[in-house]
Copies of this chain bind each other. A is one copy, B any other.
Amino acid sequence: MAGRIREQNRALILQAAERLFADKGFEGTTIQAIADLAGLPKSNVHYYFPTKERLYRTILEEILQTWLAAFGRFGEHDDPAEALASYVIAKVRLSFARPHASRIFAREMLNGGHLISPFLEDELRPWVEERAAVLRAWTRQGRLRPVDPHHLLFTIWAATQTYADFAPQIRAIEGGDPDAASQAAIARSVAEIVVRACVAQDDPGASTSRRGQAASAA
């Protein structure tokens, strides 16, 4: 059973640290607090992660991997409405499923993005260029309204992540945290806004009835 204790304690620490880093940021989080939340003495945290920075970077790496996996890879021959809607819905789901991860990512951006700029350059940017090409192709085919692809993607990212990053704002307006049903409704609602914003009304290649399910919201 080599490494079982190791794995378990590492997981415990990572879990506690992710939450605290998300809640209070890197500087606002103390090793002591992580240790307390994980139910371990402080020295034990240092046994598994020699420095606070190493611990933080470990968490950040994992988050970037998750982000990348959720990007989705819609192509030129997909149906625009369907592809965009499912992308938006996947992103909203991720926001609700891993709010801590989203907020750590957001903090990294606010801090200037120095730690993630390799990720942005090497992973995100190529992905964006590929997707932008798809969007432009759709527009050429008359299936998408002429919209700046970059700004559309920025808007989608922003609109979906806001439910994790700005949760207190949502809570104050909606009067509480959304339950599972509300989360699904939110996903549909945002997807609908995006689709309506840019998918051509008389899309020649797609069945318009498929969009009909994204109906009104309460």
Q: Which residues of A contact B (CB under 8 A)?
A: 22-28, 103, 106-107, 109-113, 116-117, 120-121, 124-125, 128, 142, 145-148, 150-155, 157-159, 161-163, 165-174, 185-186, 189-190, 192-194, 196-198, 200-202, 207-208, 210-211, 216-218
Contacts and interface: CB of A to CB of B under 8 A. Distances in A.
A171 B117 CA distance: 10
A151 B157 CA distance: 14
B111 A23 contact: yes
A45 B26 CA distance: 25
Contact of A168 (B23, B28, B117, B173): B117
A201 B199 CA distance: 13
B190 A120 contact: no
A170 B124 CA distance: 11
A170 B154 contact: yes
The 8 closest A-B pairs by CB, nearest first: A113-B168, A148-B217, A158-B162, A120-B172, A197-B197, A158-B158, A27-B27, A27-B28
How many copies the complex holds: the figure is 2
Given A27-B24, A159-B154, A162-B154, A198 B196 contact: yes
B168 A159 contact: no
Most B C-beta atoms less than 10 A away, residue of A28, A152, A154, A217: A154
A194 B197 contact: yes
A109 B168 contact: yes
A172 B22 CA distance: 23
19 contacts: A24-B111, A25-B107, A25-B111, A27-B27, A28-B28, A106-B110, A109-B166, A110-B165, A112-B168, A113-B168, A121-B172, A147-B193, A151-B189, A154-B162, A154-B173, A158-B159, A158-B162, A196-B196, A202-B207
A198 B101 CA distance: 31
A133 B127 CA distance: 40
Contact of A196 (B145, B157, B162, B207): B145
A165 B106 contact: yes
A109 B173 CA distance: 13
